[in-house]
């Protein structure tokens, strides 16, 4: 049965078709019209008007060629680095690119939608490619864009590209600005970022900030949060790092933001192995793959790496002064915190130039609508109220501020550990009251409670299972970060006002829904 992976370009797929073989040789499937694909008009039922093949020697580079019909491209012999670029102005993935390694040993097929640019770099002396086409080749219908256009900035392997054999036609193809005048104002050097966990509140804010043209997001259990997102299972990658390598080989980003993780604190306590897979080994697999492709790694961590036992807000001996500083001693109290420490340590050992961002109490618009502010707004709207700890101190962090500061730290070449949080330090009850006031809701049904050791934290819902021990006096200092970045985090009140005034662009749930 065929396996398929959607690529970061709308309607483009990588397909692995069955091969049947024995000691005599093999029979390889190369094209099936019953493979269900989302091409707008699917391949299923579309006639194939032409079958063609090409031969290239090692080092030949071709592209980017677009056609008004689909192509199914596969390898008969040799190997190539296959590259697609979305040149459709009205496509939601306009100007994104995707890479695939195709070879006779690992047979795959690439579905190239109409209007998407196709190019490749031959890596063998006898590379033969098969094209099954939804139309007949007519040179006058082709629209070609130069393979090394500075605005597209496709990251071809430098040494191979510098020595490539390129035809006169491809060397003098139109620049992107000539073929697509709407791109004339774009600057050269555009970079693509990969956001692991784009359906979450941190990943969603990053995608909003970076824009669809400059980022590729991943999703797992939830539906694709936006066009061009690709599936990726961090849990599976923890035990099969090749999944992370395949993802990075498709996208070849400049930056990888690892937002996905197992952040349910009580859930981590109940499933230690899952916490390690999602917060340590899975992210490490991504970091290792990113290193192969030269991508910057950004990993999100937590203030729960500390024990929260600072005696007062000015306890310098504990490294606390106005929140824990980055160099304060680590002493996590629960499985969640321990798994994040393990993730931090492993990633920095793998790549010392990685960026670890510790944050806490993140809130803001998100597709799933499950963060604390959403829960609070729903409970106050229906007058059911909420019990909130009044002894757990933290730094509420607006997700859009977190995204903006993350991107600025990357832009400025920051490495190592930085705190990225709101500048206000308050307990959860005070945070809830402030949010209620900013939303114009009655906070009288919000009840402050003391944390019960070993009890699950459910904000008033029944849960008899064992919970995680929580650090009480946490919160993080922004002194180091603010010395580097120009963006200043909003207060809770200003953040809620901004949220209400500028709803999330990617279909986030409304407050109270």
Residues marked as catalytic: 65, 131
Place of tokens 């901004």: 498
Place of tokens 């970022």: 193
How far is residue 239's CA from residue 396's CA, in Å, rounded to a whole number? 34
Calculate the alpha carbon distances from 367 to 29, 56, 222, 330 in Å: 40, 47, 10, 33
Between the two ends of the chain, the Cα-to-Cα distance in Å is: 42
Calculate the alpha carbon distances from 267 to 140, 340, 366, 465, 466 in Å: 60, 14, 21, 10, 9
Count of residues in the chain: 513
- As given in the structure block, the two tokens for residue 265 are 């604190």
Place of tokens 């919160």: 475
Label residue 187 exposed, middle or buried (CB < 10 Å: 0-12, 13-18, 19+): exposed
How far is residue 346's CA from residue 241's CA, in Å, rounded to a whole number? 14
Q: What is the DSSP letter of 95?
A: T
| Cross-strand pairs, 54 | 129
How far is residue 297's CA from residue 194's CA, in Å, rounded to a whole number? 10
Starting at the edge strand found earlier in the chain, the sheet holding 255-258 runs 230-231, 215-219, 193-196, 255-258, 296-302, 355-359, 416-419
Angle between helices 201-210 and 399-411 (to 10 degrees): 60
Within 149-241, residue ranges assigned H as helices are 158-162, 168-171, 176-179, 201-210, 234-239
**CA–centroid distance for 417 within its chain:** 20
How far is residue 285's CA from residue 268's CA, in Å, rounded to a whole number? 20
How far is residue 394's CA from residue 323's CA, in Å, rounded to a whole number? 8
**CA–centroid distance for 304 within its chain:** 23
Label residue 379 exposed, middle or buried (CB < 10 Å: 0-12, 13-18, 19+): buried
């Amino acid at each position: 049965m065929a396996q398929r992976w959607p690529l970061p370009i709308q309607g483009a797929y990588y397909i692995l078709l069955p091969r049947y073989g024995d000691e005599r040789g093999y029979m390889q499937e190369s094209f099936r019209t019953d493979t269900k694909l989302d091409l707008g008009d699917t391949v299923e039922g579309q006639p194939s008007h032409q079958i063609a093949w090409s031969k290239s020697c090692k080092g030949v580079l071709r592209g980017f060629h677009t056609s008004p019909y689909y192509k199914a491209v596969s390898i008969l012999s040799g190997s190539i680095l296959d590259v697609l670029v979305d040149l459709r102005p009205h496509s939601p993935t306009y100007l994104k690119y995707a890479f695939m390694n195709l070879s006779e040993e690992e047979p795959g097929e690439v579905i190239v939608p109409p209007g998407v640019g196709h190019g490749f770099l031959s890596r063998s002396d006898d590379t033969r490619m098969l094209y099954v086409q939804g139309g007949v080749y007519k040179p006058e219908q082709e629209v070609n864009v130069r393979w090394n256009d500075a605005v597209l900035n496709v990251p071809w392997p430098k040494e191979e590209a510098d020595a490539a054999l390129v035809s006169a036609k491809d060397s003098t193809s139109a620049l992107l600005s000539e073929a697509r005048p709407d791109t004339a104002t774009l600057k050269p050097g555009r970079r693509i970022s990969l956001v692991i966990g784009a359906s979450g509140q941190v990943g969603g804010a990053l995608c909003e900030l970076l824009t669809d043209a400059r980022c590729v997001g991943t999703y797992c259990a939830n539906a694709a949060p936006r066009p061009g997102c690709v599936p990726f299972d961090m849990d599976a990658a923890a035990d099969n790092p090749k999944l992370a390598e395949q993802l990075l080989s498709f996208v070849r980003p400049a930056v990888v933001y690892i937002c996905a993780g197992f952040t349910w604190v009580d859930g981590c306590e109940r499933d230690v192995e899952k916490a390690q897979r999602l917060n340590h080994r899975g992210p490490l697999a991504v970091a290792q793959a990113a290193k192969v492709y030269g991508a910057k790694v950004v990993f999100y961590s937590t203030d729960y790496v500390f024990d929260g036992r600072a005696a007062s807000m000015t306890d310098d001996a504990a490294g606390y002064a106005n929140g824990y500083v980055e160099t304060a001693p680590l002493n996590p109290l629960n499985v969640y915190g321990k798994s994040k420490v393990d993730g931090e340590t492993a990633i920095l050992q793998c790549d010392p130039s990685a960026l670890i961002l510790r944050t806490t109490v993140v809130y803001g618009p998100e597709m799933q609508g499950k963060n604390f502010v959403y829960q609070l707004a729903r409970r106050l709207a229906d007058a059911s109220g909420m019990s909130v700890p009044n002894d757990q101190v933290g730094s509420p962090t607006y997700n859009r501020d977190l995204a903006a500061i993350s991107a600025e730290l990357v832009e400025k070449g920051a490495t190592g550990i930085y705190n990225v949080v709101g500048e206000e330090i308050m307990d959860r009850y005070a945070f809830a009251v402030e949010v209620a006031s900013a939303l114009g809701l009655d906070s009288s049904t919000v009840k402050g409670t003391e944390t019960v050791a070993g009890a699950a934290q459910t904000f008033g819902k029944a849960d008899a299972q064992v919970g995680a021990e929580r650090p009480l006096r946490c919160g993080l200092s922004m002194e180091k970060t603010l010395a580097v970045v120009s963006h200043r985090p909003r207060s809770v009140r200003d953040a809620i006002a901004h949220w209400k005034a500028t709803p999330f662009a990617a279909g986030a749930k409304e407050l109270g829904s």
